[in-house]
Amino acid sequence: MSDDARGRRSPQPHGRRSSGRPSGDGSRAGQRGPTRTVQPARRVAYDVLRAVSETDAYANLVLPTAIAEARLGPQDAALATELTYGTLRRLGTYDAIIAAAADRSADSIDPAVLDALRLAVHQLLATRVASHAAVNESVNLVATAAGRGASSFANAVLRRITRDSGEAWQERIEEEARSDDERLALRSAHPVWVIRALRRALAAEGRGEELDALLEADNASPEVTLVALPGLAEPGEPHLPYAPTAFASPGGDPRRSVEASGGTVRVQDEGSQLVALALAGAAPIAEGERWLDLCAGPGGKTALLAAVAREHGVTLEANEVVPVRARLVRKALRAVPGEVVVHEEDGRELAAARPGEFDRILVDAPCTGLGALRRRPEARWRKSPADVAELVPLQVELLSAALEALAPGGIVAYVTCSPHLAETTGVVQEVLRGRSDIVELDARQAVADVAVSPIDLAEEGRSSSGSAQLWPHRHGTDAMFLALLQRTGTTNTSGKED
């Protein structure tokens, strides 16, 4: 649930110092010019880029609304989507190219101008869009946003970029890299710290050689995956390989399928489906069990658990501390008959006030979201190691509190959409340290048991852990992490009998 984490914009990579050119060159906004003609798809893409830059909006939330409001047809909607996500994925690389062409650091350029330049560079170097169209319309965007002087600056920068191929620009910026990791960062469009975190996570499985494949998968456009809520809808075609509830979108706008089903079919990554189903399948379900989704927003896993709970006579409660996200949870639950109480409390406090009450608890903890960079490419440029340091104590506290809310024999699923070791096995190890009343179950086996076909979950390097890690390059899912912890009836560290 990465959008609970506080985002920060990382410094732009490999920027050069300003050359001291006079104002009107894009270093600060001039007076806005008259609106000029821009193709609708490019206008939508630019507006979304501005929302991401100015308000830390998530493109996957803003773009569908922008497309609908602009009334784009299927072809233009597809173009707007490619321009938006393509630009965001390679932002760091494009900023390095812009800095080299402009002879100044990217962060010294007015943000409205910079977003137009980024959009243009993506079109020039990574699409088949005609160069003159990419340059002219991007210059028009700059003229409208920042004035004539800035548009002249943008025109000069883009004309300079068109003189060389994308390969030549890539070689040029990589020559300035100070290390192999910086060169890989420019080539793969991932910050250095993210590359190192992903490398460590793969090495922990004995799969370090898969790093290039993972970085490539992060930059690929993911297919839209749907979930059919059990007992309420049947999965369509084509079926996906692992989750029995998962199938690929038949094409077009997936909202049509969702609306036609009344919400019993939803958009949800297959990895998210697997971890929720693994919790439900980790032990036989007894009628009358009580389940809790402790960090429920925006409600996709909640709805899936609610559908399973309904089939087995289980009572489910949900909790989401952010009111707007709690409303999304309630909306997601409308399709499932029966009542699910949705609390709006700090999860740590709610769990502490309900000791020993629940048989299964999902802790889908706030995290950096490094496992969903395919779907939220801008997250890689917003996050920093400081976010990890800020989130880990919260993750530890949420998981610790959830364990106290378990009845004897109860199971907690600790889930993150991040493979970062500090947020995954590190949290589990910290919580289990010194406790004799909690045992870790084999999450890999739990996932394999619910999967409809064999699934490759690495075991090497995880001999002391039963956790499961999914990967975009290996499974076609987000990089979801799952650990299953069960409360026993033994004495805990305080000497109190459970």
Cβ within 8 Å of residue 377, ≥6 positions away? 59, 85, 88, 89, 91, 218, 219
Among 116, 121, 117, 95, CA closest to 106: 95
The string of pLDDT tens digits covering residues 8-29 is 333 334 333 333 333 345 555 4
The whole-angstrom separation of Cα 475 and Cα 495 is 43
Among 130, 114, 148, CA closest to 46: 114
User: What pLDDT score does 285 carry?
Assistant: 98
User: What pLDDT score does 12 carry?
Assistant: 39
Residue 1 has pLDDT above 80, yes or no: no
**Lowest model confidence (mean pLDDT) among 187-196, 243-252, 399-408:** 243-252
- Stretch (H or E) spanning 461: none
Phi, psi of 82 (to 5 degrees): -65, -45
User: What pLDDT score does 23 carry?
Assistant: 39
Residue 366 has pLDDT above 70, yes or no: yes
Residue 385 has pLDDT above 50, yes or no: yes
What is the dihedral sign for C-alpha 377, 379, 382, 385? negative
- Model confidence at 2, pLDDT cuts 50, 70, 90, reads very low
Cβ within 8 Å of residue 428, ≥6 positions away? 399, 414, 440, 465, 467, 483, 485
Residue 388 has pLDDT above 50, yes or no: yes
Residue 495 has pLDDT above 70, yes or no: no
Residue 359 has pLDDT above 50, yes or no: yes
Which residue, chain included where needed, has tokens 């990574």? 126
Residue 367 has pLDDT above 80, yes or no: yes
User: What pLDDT score does 253 carry?
Assistant: 72
Its pTM surpasses 0.85 = yes
Q: What is the 8-class DSSP label of residue 414?
A: E
User: What pLDDT score does 373 carry?
Assistant: 96
The whole-angstrom separation of Cα 141 and Cα 159 is 16
User: What pLDDT score does 252 carry?
Assistant: 66
Helices (H) and strands (E) in the chain, counts: 21, 11
Which among 305, 417, 438, 443 is annotated as catalytic? 417
User: What pLDDT score does 251 carry?
Assistant: 74
Mean pLDDT of the chain: 90
- Model confidence at 30, pLDDT cuts 50, 70, 90, reads very low
Residue 4 has pLDDT above 70, yes or no: no
User: What pLDDT score does 5 carry?
Assistant: 34
The string of pLDDT tens digits covering residues 432-464 is 998 999 999 999 999 999 999 999 998 755 445
User: What pLDDT score does 250 carry?
Assistant: 80
The whole-angstrom separation of Cα 257 and Cα 434 is 49
Residue 337 has pLDDT above 60, yes or no: yes
Token pair recorded at residue 53: 């830059």
Mean pLDDT of 220-230: 94
The whole-angstrom separation of Cα 12 and Cα 382 is 11
Mean pLDDT of 201-215: 96
User: What pLDDT score does 148 carry?
Assistant: 85
- Model confidence at 38, pLDDT cuts 50, 70, 90, reads confident
- Model confidence at 465, pLDDT cuts 50, 70, 90, reads confident
Among 97, 107, 121, 131, CA closest to 46: 121
367 annotated active-site: no
- Model confidence at 490, pLDDT cuts 50, 70, 90, reads low
- Model confidence at 292, pLDDT cuts 50, 70, 90, reads very high
Residue 255 has pLDDT above 60, yes or no: yes
What's the alpha-carbon Rg for the chain, to the nearest Å? Answer: 24
Token pair recorded at residue 361: 């608890």
Cβ within 8 Å of residue 69, ≥6 positions away? none
Residue 36 has pLDDT above 70, yes or no: no
Mean pLDDT of 140-159: 92
User: What pLDDT score does 493 carry?
Assistant: 43
Residue 3 has pLDDT above 70, yes or no: no
- The better pLDDT of the pair 16, 399 is held by 399
- The better pLDDT of the pair 405, 494 is held by 405
User: What pLDDT score does 458 carry?
Assistant: 85
Residue 91 has pLDDT above 80, yes or no: yes
**Lowest model confidence (mean pLDDT) among 200-209, 257-266, 350-359, 483-492:** 483-492
Q: Hey, what amino acid is at 35?
A: T
The whole-angstrom separation of Cα 301 and Cα 118 is 35
Among 473, 480, 469, CA closest to 204: 469
- Model confidence at 334, pLDDT cuts 50, 70, 90, reads very high
